[in-house]
């Protein structure tokens, strides 16, 4: 009889543990899906899903700084269509000042478009070594000697006709590296 009670006890413990895991997963998805962006395993922040609504097939980072929440989307339909996603990092307890924020800009290019203006733009910036990401080369560019006070680094990545630039404000190299390496 005693063994039976122990077994039932264990079974209940396992059930409670499983139940709370399910609840916690549900909550985490719900928190991530702010602004109704759908989330999937391969699209942790819903960036791909969001961009697809504007006809963009993009790669996206799986890692973003803590508390990152998107605040604005801008879609421009011109010669080189682009979509810009603005994020702020709302930390539960303010540990850094000034606030971290960043924007991801996807720009579509086709073969009739020249890219040299973007290349020339980078010549005054510091290029780090290329980093192999997802089968292509990504770059972290240092902006420490430019007029952009807040923007310390930006990430450049190109694939499938879409140029991705991530401008990072008040975010250091280590996080920039983590973001770049997490692109999928």
Which residue ranges make up the site for other proteins (CB under 8 A)? 35-36, 50, 53-57, 70-78, 81, 86, 108-111, 114-116, 118-120, 122-124, 126-127, 129-130, 136-137, 139, 142, 144-145, 156, 158-161
Distance CA 156, CA 169 (A): 15
Q: Residue 49 CB, nearest distance to other proteins (Å)?
A: 10
Instruction: Concatenate the DSSP letters of all residues of 49-109 into one string.
Output: HHHHTTT-----BS---TTEEEEEEEEE-SSS-EEEEEEEE--SS--SSSPPEEEEEEEE-
**For residues 136 and 178, which CB has a smaller minimum distance to other proteins in the complex?**
136
Q: Residue 64 CB, nearest distance to other proteins (Å)?
A: 17
Residue with tokens 């395993």, as numbered in its chain: 41
**For residues 136 and 170, which CB has a smaller minimum distance to other proteins in the complex?**
136
**For residues 14 and 127, which CB has a smaller minimum distance to other proteins in the complex?**
127
Q: Residue 61 CB, nearest distance to other proteins (Å)?
A: 17
CB 180, CB 133: distance < 8 Å:
yes
Closest by CA to 136, choosing from 156, 116, 110, 109, is 156
Distance CA 148, CA 36 (A): 32
Q: Residue 11 CB, nearest distance to other proteins (Å)?
A: 41
CB 139, CB 157: distance < 8 Å:
yes
Rounded to a whole number, what is the largest CA-CA distance in the chain? 81
**For residues 36 and 95, which CB has a smaller minimum distance to other proteins in the complex?**
36
**For residues 20 and 30, which CB has a smaller minimum distance to other proteins in the complex?**
30
Q: Residue 65 CB, nearest distance to other proteins (Å)?
A: 18
């Amino acid at each position: 009889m005693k063994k039976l009670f122990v077994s039932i006890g264990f079974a209940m413990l396992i059930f409670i543990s499983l139940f709370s895991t399910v609840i916690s997963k549900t909550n985490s998805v719900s928190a991530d899906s702010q602004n109704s962006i759908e989330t999937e395993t391969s699209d942790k922040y819903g960036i791909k899903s969001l961009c697809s609504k504007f006809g963009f097939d993009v790669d996206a980072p799986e890692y973003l700084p803590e508390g990152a929440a998107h605040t604005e989307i801008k879609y421009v339909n011109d010669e080189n269509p682009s979509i810009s996603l603005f994020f702020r990092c709302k930390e539960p307890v303010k540990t850094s000042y000034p606030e971290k924020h960043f924007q991801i800009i996807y720009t579509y290019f086709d073969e009739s478009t020249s890219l040299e203006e973007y290349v020339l733009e980078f010549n005054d910036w510091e290029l780090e070594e290329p980093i192999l990401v997802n089968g292509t080369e990504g770059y972290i560019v240092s902006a420490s000697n430019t007029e952009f006070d807040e923007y310390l680094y930006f990430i450049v990545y190109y694939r499938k006709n879409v140029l991705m630039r991530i401008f990072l404000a008040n975010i250091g190299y280590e996080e920039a590296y983590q973001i770049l390496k997490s692109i999928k």
